[in-house]
Amino acid sequence: MAVIHHTTLTPSKLELLTSWLPTQPWYEGNGRRPELTKAGGFRLDDPQGEVGMEFMVVTDVSGDRPVSYHVPLTYRGAPLEGADRALIGTTEHGVLGRRWIYDGTHDPVLAAQLHALFVGDVEAQDQNVSDTPDPSVTRSFTGAAASGPIRPTAVADAPHATDIVVDAATAEGTVDGGRGGRLTMRVTRVLRPGEADIAEVADVLGHVAAGWRLPDGAEVRGVFAVVTDAPR
């Protein structure tokens, strides 16, 4: 169980993301400095209790229209080996001390737990309260269950998403579709209200959907990630 400490972060997550977001290929601000507000999200627990994981939504209100971004984050007490390019920044936590904050799509712990969420082996947790499931986060999966560890093999950005390719062998040696046990978890980066986006991705085996708040206070839902049986 991840314990959520209500304390200070210096610099804050929003301050770090304000510098990091414009460097990402899916950022729609054309180099403009974003004006970010926290708009929602959820957490997952690390079974080992070492890595914090948050699927954060931030909304940029700097342009003519607000744009909501989905930014999976991992929080670590030491650098993640080989992940320098995924480092968003470091911060001083009021209780835990120095924390390294990463783009979670490059973190193998987050990849494994996201897969576990797809298949129903774990529950999404409340973003702000310890040991509290978030039933508003929904998921589906129609493939075969993996029989061993989930091993990320590649991460690539798309115009509005990030693809995490993993090896996920089943007892029969493959996932549905017979592609050698490889799955692609496509993490939505630019969120759009509505769940119709699921149908726009070929070979979909499952999805994760959740909610966030618009600047006018409206509550909306959309697709945070889908999983397919084919490297994209």
CA 82, CA 214: separation in Å to the nearest integer? 36
Q: 76 pLDDT exceeds 80?
A: yes
Both tokens of 170, joined, read 């089943």
Q: Over 60: is that where the pLDDT of 28 sits? A: yes
Mean pLDDT of the 18-45 span? 95
Side-chain half-sphere of 41: how many Cα atoms within 13 Å?
22
Instruction: Give the count of beta carbons closer than 10 Å to the beta carbon of residue 84.
Output: 10
- Is beta strand 52-60 parallel, antiparallel or unpaired with respect to 9-10? unpaired
Two tokens, residue 105: 């799509």
Residue scoring higher pLDDT (10 or 136): 136
Evaluate whether 60 touches 67 at the Cβ level (below 8 Å): yes
- Mean pLDDT, the chain, rounded, equals 88
Asked whether 222 and 191 are in contact (CB, 8 A), the reply is yes
Rounded-to-integer distance, Cα 188 and Cα 20, Å: 17
Cα 224 to Cα 189: distance, rounded to the nearest angstrom: 8
Non-local CB neighbours of 93 within 8 Å, separated by 6+ positions: 5, 7, 8, 9, 99
Spatial distance between the Cα atoms of 140 and 146, rounded to a whole number of angstroms:
15
203: left (phi over 0), alpha (psi -120 to 50) or beta: left
pLDDT at 83 over 70: yes
Is the pLDDT at 179 greater than 70? The verdict is no
CA 171, CA 105: separation in Å to the nearest integer?
26
**Residue 207 token pair:** 């999805």
The residue count of the chain comes to 232
> Which residue in 187, 181, 117, 184 sits closest to 148, CA to CA?
181
Whether the pLDDT of residue 173 is over 60: the answer is: no
